[in-house]
Amino acid sequence: MAGKVNGFAVAYTAFGGLLIYSGIKGTSLTTTFTDLTHGTLDSTPEASAIAAEAGDAADAITSGSDVSVPSSTSNANYLTIGKFLVQNGYTPVGAAGVVGCVAGESSGNPEEIGAGSYGIIQEQGSQYAGLVTGNASADLDAQLQALLAYNDAQGENLIAMLNAQPNPTAAADFYSQYFERPEFTDSDVVPSVANSVYSELISSAVHV
């Protein structure tokens, strides 16, 4: 997946740059920010370098094009995905393991687009581009069916082994290693999500 800029990190960088600049020049943050937006900052070498860094970070915040903001429905999507899998024959442990990888792949956002990869499990290839249309609800429905098809293509034996894992984290590791197969082993596993979804699945008794 292509690298993205975290909005909070960018904001922190911008603020930090302005704070350091203010210290160098002995001015208030308000004055510094006003000068930055009006292009009237002093141009000493140290100040110029810091101001440029802060300005670039501020531009990233305001432009919106390079800032990755997680979908506000991601957390709800985790449980939706888990329930769907259980309703289609997965154990709560197996379903939670899959969702633990979904969290690492896309944060549960069906509109996620990576480097030629699409949707909740970042299916790779232009043939999957149609899974992301801008309609998050409809796209999630379509991607859930695609998820079942993808898993089925890996074989019944692997699905049975996934469902037989002893706990959600082990299931997430198994799904990552034998289904998703990222470049760095288990790099897409988010144990906290796997365990949380498992607890919710058990409490809601969707497996009955």
* CATH for 80: 1.10.530.10
Tens-digit pLDDT string for the chain (208 aa): 333 333 433 333 333 443 444 444 454 444 444 454 444 445 444 444 444 444 443 343 333 333 333 333 567 999 999 999 999 999 999 999 999 999 999 999 999 999 889 999 898 888 899 999 999 999 999 999 999 999 999 999 999 999 999 999 999 999 999 999 988 888 899 999 999 999 999 998 644 4
Same domain, 88 and 40: no
Query: What is the amino acid identity at position 127?
Result: Q
Same domain, 101 and 32: no
Same domain, 84 and 182: yes
Per-residue pLDDT at 26: 52
d(CA 170, CA 161): 11
Last residue of a domain, one of 68, 94, 122: 68
d(CA 6, CA 22): 25
Per-residue pLDDT at 42: 52
CA-based nearest residue to 133, from 161, 114, 113, 108: 113
Per-residue pLDDT at 14: 39
Is the Cβ–Cβ distance between 168 and 194 less than 8 Å? yes
Same domain, 185 and 109: yes
Same domain, 52 and 104: no
Same domain, 121 and 189: yes
Same domain, 59 and 20: yes
Per-residue pLDDT at 132: 95
Same domain, 59 and 130: no
Same domain, 26 and 91: no
Q: Structure pTM?
A: 0.63
Is the Cβ–Cβ distance between 168 and 198 less than 8 Å? yes
**Number of domains making up the chain:** 2
d(CA 54, CA 17): 5
CA-based nearest residue to 140, from 131, 152, 128: 131
Same domain, 30 and 80: no
Same domain, 30 and 83: no
Domain that holds residue 108: 74-204
